[in-house]
Amino acid sequence: MTETTAQITAETPAETGAGIPARPARGRPRSDRAHQAVVDAAGDVLMERGMAGFTMEAVATRARVSKATLYKWWPSRSAVAIDGFFARVRESVSVPETASTEQALLFQVDALRELFAHTACGPLMRSLAGQAQSDPDIGDALRERWLGPRRAVSERILRDGIAAGAIRADIDVAVTLDQLFGPLYYRLFFGHEPLTAELARQLVAQVMAAIRAPGTSD
């Protein structure tokens, strides 16, 4: 779903005179501030240029650190880009505890739709997904840090619905999740139709019609 800092240097005591201890630094350690500055800079560069224009030089310049510092903390360009992406798209995937199964699913589907349609996440996701075709590290990170947590929340909603008798027990949960969320990625990547709030409602209504337990209204 930020801070800037000066170039990081080796952490050594200041020379304040014989036998006089250096004044302790206040606030966050310099290395922490520099690390956060790099992550913030990576998010900025990624948002402005996409993966095609994302370079270590651009990130280092904006964060005011050396390229050597970047490679000390990240093994590759894609690793920095991924951290920059997740700094930009931190967003809760939780749902209201009082929501019904259908309401909870709609909350999840519409939140993702809104993220794709009206924030920088949409263009960034297109750029990263394209790069993932030739960079397996990006693909792995997107599956582990983006797709996995979100699917886990929605899977729990479905399994809770099954336990409560609202959802048929014989459904394929993985396929159901693909049916709910796949069309959002389809429209994001190809742009053939808009990502509207009505789409989210239709997706949930049609899937619920197929998986709802007999004799229930939710």
Closest CA to 196 of 75, 105, 113: 113
Give the span between the Cα atoms of 207 and 52, in whole angstroms.
37
**Does residue 95 register a pLDDT over 90?**
no
pLDDT value of position 34:
93
pLDDT tens-digit readout, 36-69 = 999 999 999 998 998 989 999 999 999 999 999 9
Banded pLDDT at 1 (limits 50, 70, 90): very low
pLDDT value of position 4:
32
Give the span between the Cα atoms of 10 and 94, in whole angstroms.
41
Structural domains of the chain ordered from first start: 1-88 (1.10.10.60), 101-211 (1.10.357.10)
At which residue do the structure tokens 């709910």 appear? 180
Average pLDDT score over residue span 73-97: 85
Banded pLDDT at 158 (limits 50, 70, 90): very high
CA distances from 13 to 21, 22, 24, 72 (A): 8, 6, 9, 22
**Does residue 142 register a pLDDT over 90?**
yes
> What is the reported pTM?
0.79
pLDDT value of position 137:
93
Residues 6+ apart with CB under 8 A from 40: 2, 3, 4, 63, 84, 87
Closest CA to 39 of 14, 69, 9: 69
pLDDT value of position 6:
27
CB 13 within 8 A of CB 51: no
